[in-house]
Amino acid sequence: MDKSILNKISDFIWEIPQSYQQDMRVPARIFASEKILRDVLKDESLEQVVNVSTLPGIQKYSYAMPDIHEGYGFPIGGVAAMDINEGVISPGGIGFDINCGVRLLRTEKTFDEIKNKISEFTSAIYKEVPSGVGVGGRFKMVNKELDAVLAYGAEEMLKKGYAMEDDLKNCESGGCLKEADPGLVSKRAKDRGRDQLGTIGAGNHFIEIQKVQEIFNEECARKWGLFKNQITILIHCGSRGLGHQVATDYIQTMLNSLSKYNISVCDSQLACAPFSSYEGQNYFGAMSAAANFAWANRQLITWEVREAWRKVFGFTAGLELKLVYDVAHNIAKIEEYGGREMVVHRKGATRAFPEQPVLIPGSMGTASYVLVGAEESLKSSFGSCCHGAGRVMSRTRAKKTVRGSELKKDLEEKGIFIKAGSIAGLAEEAPVAYKDIDEIVSIVHEIGLAKKVVRLKPLGVIKG
């Protein structure tokens, strides 16, 4: 796509008019700087933003966040709200890793107090939390146990003793979508997930030990228990193979039902069904169950990180790791705007409701951020903002460009300890493969979708 197609609304807002393509139902709106836009124009992501605008029932705009890059059907960094009565639900608008998300834990320790034990703590987490492609966790669930996790998410982890009451209070949706129906999750999906609870997998998933490097909003930081040089832990993962299989199953179901509902899509990856239809409701129930699995997964990982903390620093009630917040960035949820209920698809986009913590992980070795949602997001993006840095380089190209062993050495020279199952795989997540996280966050801050609270600096990284 040529930049001349875009209308510049402001320094960080661009629009592709509805007149650009005959089948567009709404305009497309992109949040980006001139520099970010140059990178975006190199792939097919803007074409995907336009394609999303053609879906039945879409409201206002097809949105793209500044970390946008090409994805499956929807771009990663895409947001679309569909009218609950007239609109569709599309698995491509949630992604294969259903409820991939981020949670932040805080400690009462400062960097100076434990700096000599960062390496030991990094290793302890690596031993406690299984990671890697297809790697299983500490227990294998029978059907009854797995169905309970799919139905109740983090609530089931509380029941089993792997959570505290405050964990659920500080989790989006309390860590459970009540629309979940385990019976709508296929046997194959369940088989892929039954031994993966409490694991981070591979790819861009990680656990990171960090310190609070800079505070921008003292009031929010204080309210959320964050202070300068404080040690925090960021967990980034999702629903593992179970969520991937749910997406795979229902994409095929919806491809088969398109003609039934007289729906024509310009890209088969946008396969969808009316939200109110049999297929739409079945997918929503299965997606919600997979989302619950992801919240239970991050909760069990939290318990494992707490175990690692106790083993390295000793158990003292006052030093218990506390959950700041947990938020999804691959999910569809029913929300109300202007008196109308919408099915809001967020794929590689974070909910950013007013006063809510918004967690934005950086690429490996770069900063992460905690933001606070703002009123402007409700008006401008259906309560959404970015979810990370966003790729500018494919994993294949990154591996050809960067040597994992050299990257590990470079990061350790900067004081960042690395524990990874695959050194070669580290290259896929090299900082050079991603956009500049500081610029991405500055854009959503300037637009007013979310405001900066603290900047987090990495000290230890655990990857599959």
Q: What are phi and psi of 81, to 5 degrees?
A: -110, 125
Catalytic residue selected from 69, 236, 387, 445: 387
Please write down the HEC assignment for all residues of the chain: CCHHHCEEEECCEEEECHHHCCCCCCCEEEECCHHHHHHHCCCCHHHHHHHHCCCCCECCCEEEEEEEECCCCCCEEEEEEEECCCCEECHHHCCCCCCCEEEEEEEEEEHHHHHHHHHHHHHHHHHHCCCCCCCCCCCCCCHHHHHHHHHHCHHHHHHCCCCCHHHHHCEHHHHCCCCCCHHHCCHHHHHHHCCCCCCCCCCCCEEEEEEEEEECCHHHHHHCCCCCCEEEEEEEECCHHHHHHHHHHHHHHHHHHCHHHCCCCCCHHHCCEECCCHHHHHHHHHHHHHHHHHHHHHHHHHHHHHHHHHHHHCCCHHHCCEEEEEEECEEEEEEEECCEEEEEEEECCEECCCCCEEEECCCCCCCEEEEEECHHHHHHCCCEECCCCCECCCHHHHHHHCCHHHHHHHHHHCCCEEEECCHHHHHHHCHHHECCHHHHHHHHHHHCCEEEEEEEEEEEEEEC
Neighbouring-strand partners of residue 211:
231, 457
Q: What are phi and psi of 163, to 5 degrees?
A: -150, 160
Neighbouring-strand partners of residue 110:
230
387 is catalytic: yes
CA–CA dist 21, 308 (Å, integer): 54
Q: What are phi and psi of 348, to 5 degrees?
A: 65, 40
Catalytic residues: 387
